[in-house]
Amino acid sequence: MVEHCSYVIVGGGIAGVTAAETLRNEEPSAEITVIADTPLPAYYRPALKDYLAGRVTEDTLYVRRRSFYADLGIHFMLDRAVRIAVNQHALQLSSGRQVSYDRLLLATGARASRLSCPGSDLAGVITLRTIADYQATLRLLQTARRVVVCGSGSLALETVEILQHRGIQVTHLLRSRRLWKDILDRTASELVLHQEEQDGVDIRFGEEIAEVIGKKGDGGQVLGIITKNGVRIPCDVVVTAIGIEPAIDFIKESGIACGRGVKVDHAMRTSIPDVFAIGDAAETCDPATGRERIFGQWYPAMQQGRTAAYSMLGMLGTRHLRHAETYSNAYLRSISAQYLYGFDVAAIGITNVSSPEYQEIQADPRTHIYSKVLLKDGIPVGMLSFDGRRDALAFKRAIDHAVNLMPVASLLFNREFKLTTWLDAQKVPTPVLAVRKLSQAPRPLPVRNMKSQFVGMGGMTPLLDLPREDIESVNTRSNTDPYMIPVVTMSGSRRGDAGREERRQTNRQEERSMRIDTYTHTSIPTAAFLVPILPEKTADILRTQETQSYALSLDQDNTGALISPEWAHTQISQTQVVTIGREPDSTLVINHNSISRRHAEIIYRNGDYLLRDLGSKNGTFINETPLAPGHVHVLQPRDRIRIGKLMTYLFQVRAVAPNPSGSRL
């Protein structure tokens, strides 16, 4: 018997999960099936390095609950796809079951590339891709004293640094002196290599593994390696970080066009109608270089998931194809940001190219500092900085909108010059940070969702003090919202008034609509904002998607604190999850040691803004009351949100006029 489902997604990583969420948000009644070969929920792959370093625990890695699919009403099948019959719109699964589809999304991910030399099957030869890989590595490191790391990409560099800091003797094998070739140029590579050598890493250039020596009868224990040059290096563990291979074997046999990955266009469509592909399995064309690429990164995977969902729903209309390409390809120019050997590295677009058609502008050289921007006919196409992310979003803004920077080319790295201010004066739109719907689905759009179309902060009325009600914590669960466990809801009753609370929940949506209409006179949409409030003498650098630095001024709201006026108009998105933490790709990045890498998040659901702590080390506080990890607080106007030990925000709800300017999370 063949099972049928309108939307079938193969793969349960962040790309597939994001697509499933987007489909559910846009089509509440849609039939959605996700097929994956692991029951584990999606986890935050960029934090696996922190797991290896002992900075986070496994439970903090997961970005969705185990009940995620059930909560969203999505059918989950623990199985593996083995064949696609594209003419029949059907999937064959390893269990023998068959599933037919109207739209199919391939989010099968990738596997780590492995060595193919003798001894590569020993248990001490490991790759770093999954949680299981990292768990196995941690077990081996309990007794390991010497480790060989093979690879020149960011994963290899991070691993070398972590192992060295754990007190392990590390040998790093490199084919050449060039590192992370997609991002770092020769100068940047030399900076990192110099720091590796300073830290005591044994770097071997021009070396590759020819054989791994070990005891096969003793649990696969590794004793050492022999390089292709005949050099023998003793070690206890071999870590290979030599790239990924898209998991598309069964897809190639279906007739779908494939290169290294599944070939897709800007709308994530494959060569076969009704079949889409995203994430590490998808191969896209970088319009800036004309090269086919597999990105293998977290942020692009999420953006591709949203793009594919809108495309499957028909929301990327044909009359908007040019604009659709602009927005759906925004991830091609996403910011790659991470820390390498103490360097705060940020990269956007093309950063490593040698061609006379590109003009390279470099900052004045300083010790351990290196920054440059690449221009083509005066238009920025890429930026690389070892000097933090101070201007990263400003450069992305200029790159996204093809702003001619020649008039200010000599000032770009002048500390007194503010690129953001200059772009504002040129009326350049904000950076493209997420795929957008470009046409509506063929159904009425609820009024509350239309509010999210107004992104401007201009023409704002004074703060609206909406009625403040008592806050009650109730152990209820939404069958459509993965964030509501348990939920802190607005309640006009005390705990004992169960009848009133039940009536309150029954009429909640109607009351909310009436309340909003009352305060906005039905014609002006409302929006929510975070206003930062800092104690005096605090000057930590903060960054959002729109603001690169923090300017202090007196708060006129009778708080006696200091706030940033340029942040006072920072709107919370109603369509994207707002993540808060130290991770470079967080929506709101706070670089302070009291802030966890993934600290908290805010999500908009059914008219409410929900705040959830993500198991942070130093806590999230509402009006100085700690929010228990896993609990959700429904934010109320004038709530004070404290993140860790430093940062406090005032939650505001305002009426806004549709004027497209200002900052938005």
CATH number of domain containing 285: 3.50.50.60
Query: What pLDDT, on a 0 to 100 scale, did the predictor assign at position 519?
Result: 29
Q: Which of 142, 135, 124, 126 is nearest to 51 (CA)?
A: 135
Q: How confident is the model at residue 532 (pLDDT cuts 50, 70, 90)?
A: confident
Q: Is the pLDDT of residue 165 over 80?
A: yes
- Mapping DSSP to helix (H, G, I), strand (E, B) and coil, where does residue 361 land? strand
Residues 202 and 169 reside in one and the same domain: yes
The CATH number given to whatever domain includes residue 367 is 3.30.390.30
Query: What pLDDT, on a 0 to 100 scale, did the predictor assign at position 437?
Result: 56
Domain of 128?
114-242
Residues 417 and 383 reside in one and the same domain: yes
Q: How confident is the model at residue 12 (pLDDT cuts 50, 70, 90)?
A: very high
Tell me the pairing of strands 146-150 and 237-240.
parallel
Query: What pLDDT, on a 0 to 100 scale, did the predictor assign at position 329?
Result: 55
Residues 11 and 87 reside in one and the same domain: yes
Query: What pLDDT, on a 0 to 100 scale, did the predictor assign at position 179?
Result: 96
Q: What is the mean pLDDT of residues 15-38?
A: 94
Query: What pLDDT, on a 0 to 100 scale, did the predictor assign at position 525?
Result: 58
Q: Is the pLDDT of residue 155 over 50?
A: yes
Weakest mean pLDDT among 106-120, 224-238, 618-632? 618-632
Higher pLDDT, residue 473 or 52: 52
Residues 312 and 371 reside in one and the same domain: no
Query: What pLDDT, on a 0 to 100 scale, did the predictor assign at position 157?
Result: 96
Weakest mean pLDDT among 28-32, 387-391, 430-434, 530-534? 430-434
The distance from CA 607 to its chain's CA centroid, rounded to whole angstroms, is: 24
Q: Is the pLDDT of residue 509 over 70?
A: no
Residues 228 and 293 reside in one and the same domain: no
Residues 20 and 46 reside in one and the same domain: yes
Contacts of 410 (CB under 8 A, 6+ apart): none
φ, ψ for residue 488 (rounded to 5)? -100, 115
Distance from C-alpha of 359 to C-alpha of 376, rounded to nearest angstrom? 6
Distance from C-alpha of 317 to C-alpha of 315, rounded to nearest angstrom? 5
pTM for this predicted structure: 0.68
Beta bridge partners of 663: 570
Q: Is the pLDDT of residue 378 over 90?
A: yes
Q: What is the chain's percent helix, strand, coil content, to nearest 5?
A: 25, 30, 45
Q: Is the pLDDT of residue 61 over 80?
A: yes
Residues 314 and 413 reside in one and the same domain: no
Distance from C-alpha of 104 to C-alpha of 93, rounded to nearest angstrom? 14
Question: Per the structure block, which two tokens stand in for 82?
Answer: 């083995």
Residue 497 located in a structural domain: no
Q: Of 302, 329, 356, which one is at a domain's C-terminal end?
A: 329
- Mapping DSSP to helix (H, G, I), strand (E, B) and coil, where does residue 222 land? strand
Q: What is the mean pLDDT of residues 365-391?
A: 88
Residue 481 located in a structural domain: no
* Position 478, amino acid: S
Residues 643 and 613 reside in one and the same domain: yes
Query: What pLDDT, on a 0 to 100 scale, did the predictor assign at position 591?
Result: 74
> Tell me: the pLDDT tens digits for 248-281?
999 999 999 999 999 999 899 999 999 999 999 9
Query: What pLDDT, on a 0 to 100 scale, did the predictor assign at position 115?
Result: 96
Residue 471 located in a structural domain: no
3-state secondary structure 30-82: CCEEEEECCCCCCECHHHHHHHHHCCCCHHHCECCCCCHHHHCCCEEEECCEE
Q: Is 196 in contact with 212 (CB distance < 8 Å)?
A: no
Query: What pLDDT, on a 0 to 100 scale, did the predictor assign at position 278?
Result: 97
Residues 100 and 118 reside in one and the same domain: no
Residues 125 and 202 reside in one and the same domain: yes
Query: What pLDDT, on a 0 to 100 scale, did the predictor assign at position 367?
Result: 67
The total domain count for the chain is 4
Question: Per the structure block, which two tokens stand in for 401?
Answer: 């909108």
Higher pLDDT, residue 665 or 425: 425
Contacts of 418 (CB under 8 A, 6+ apart): none
Query: What pLDDT, on a 0 to 100 scale, did the predictor assign at position 434?
Result: 57
Residue 450 located in a structural domain: no
Q: Is 652 in contact with 639 (CB distance < 8 Å)?
A: no
Higher pLDDT, residue 76 or 446: 76
User: 607: left (phi > 0), else alpha (psi -120 to 50), else beta?
Assistant: left
Distance from C-alpha of 372 to C-alpha of 265, rounded to nearest angstrom? 30
CA 360, 364, 366 angle in degrees (round to 5)? 125
Residues 105 and 250 reside in one and the same domain: yes
Contacts of 581 (CB under 8 A, 6+ apart): 588, 589, 590, 595, 596, 597, 598, 599, 600, 614, 616
> Tell me: the pLDDT tens digits for 602-648?
988 777 889 998 888 889 999 888 888 767 888 988 889 999 887 88
Q: Is the pLDDT of residue 340 over 50?
A: yes
Residues 90 and 28 reside in one and the same domain: yes
Query: What pLDDT, on a 0 to 100 scale, did the predictor assign at position 433?
Result: 59
Q: Of 380, 401, 426, which one is at a domain's C-terminal end?
A: 426
Residue 8 located in a structural domain: yes
Distance from C-alpha of 210 to C-alpha of 546, rounded to nearest angstrom? 49
Q: How confident is the model at residue 103 (pLDDT cuts 50, 70, 90)?
A: very high
Q: How confident is the model at residue 245 (pLDDT cuts 50, 70, 90)?
A: very high
Residue 88 located in a structural domain: yes
Query: What pLDDT, on a 0 to 100 scale, did the predictor assign at position 347?
Result: 92
Query: What pLDDT, on a 0 to 100 scale, did the predictor assign at position 187?
Result: 93
Q: Is 544 in contact with 588 (CB distance < 8 Å)?
A: yes
The CATH number given to whatever domain includes residue 591 is 2.60.200.20
Percent of the chain with pLDDT over 90: 48
Beta bridge partners of 258: 262
Q: Of 242, 275, 309, which one is at a domain's C-terminal end?
A: 242
Residue 144 located in a structural domain: yes
Q: What is the mean pLDDT of residues 134-160?
A: 96
Distance from C-alpha of 530 to C-alpha of 653, rounded to nearest angstrom? 9
Query: What pLDDT, on a 0 to 100 scale, did the predictor assign at position 457?
Result: 25
Query: What pLDDT, on a 0 to 100 scale, did the predictor assign at position 393?
Result: 83
Residue 347 located in a structural domain: yes
Mean pLDDT over each residue of the chain, to the nearest integer: 78
Query: What pLDDT, on a 0 to 100 scale, did the predictor assign at position 415?
Result: 86
Q: Which of 274, 280, 278 is nearest to 303 (CA)?
A: 278
Tell me the pairing of strands 202-205 and 542-543.
unpaired
Catalogue the E-assigned strands of 56-168.
75-78, 81-85, 90-93, 98-106, 110-112, 125-127, 146-150
Q: How confident is the model at residue 392 (pLDDT cuts 50, 70, 90)?
A: confident
DSSP 369: B
Higher pLDDT, residue 210 or 445: 210
